[in-house]
Amino acid sequence: MYASQCPCRDVLDLLANKWAALAIGALEDGPLRFGELQRRLQGISPKVLTQTLRRLEDNGFVDREIFPAVPLHVEYSLTAIGRSVSKPLGALRTWVETHLDQLSA
């Protein structure tokens, strides 16, 4: 992990990112549409959410399914490895929430 050429660096770079961690957490309960994700991740811009989801999809953590209904809609869901990484990411989020008072003291 500490060698600069280690490919794990790129993965850590992708995951060790606030919006990626929050997006994966939001998808833990099941598939969501773009608008629902945007509402859950209060404050995220459509552009950053699009980039975050595309990076997560490109790296195999998120699936994107297009439903040819009228109107057409798209749903995002965690892949198996996305669900797997949601555990350590969830533990980091929980740590932050449970230590917040010590940090802002």
Q: Tell me which long-range contacts 59-65 makes (C-beta under 8 A, separation of at least 24).
A: 59/11, 59/14, 61/24, 61/85, 62/23, 62/24, 62/27, 65/31
Nearest approach in angstroms of CB 10 to a copy of itself is: 9
CA-CA-CA-CA torsion for 89, 93, 98, 104, nearest 10 degrees?
130
Which is it for strands 32-33 and 62-67: parallel, antiparallel or unpaired? unpaired
Task: Give the residue with the Cβ less far from a copy of itself, 69 or 103.
Answer: 103
Nearest approach in angstroms of CB 74 to a copy of itself is: 21
Task: Give the residue with the Cβ less far from a copy of itself, 14 or 75.
Answer: 14
Q: Which residues bind a copy of itself (CB under 8 A)?
A: 1-4, 7-9, 11-13, 15-18, 20-22, 25-26, 40-43, 59-60, 81, 84-85, 87-89, 91-97, 99-100, 102-104
Task: Give the residue with the Cβ less far from a copy of itself, 74 or 91.
Answer: 91
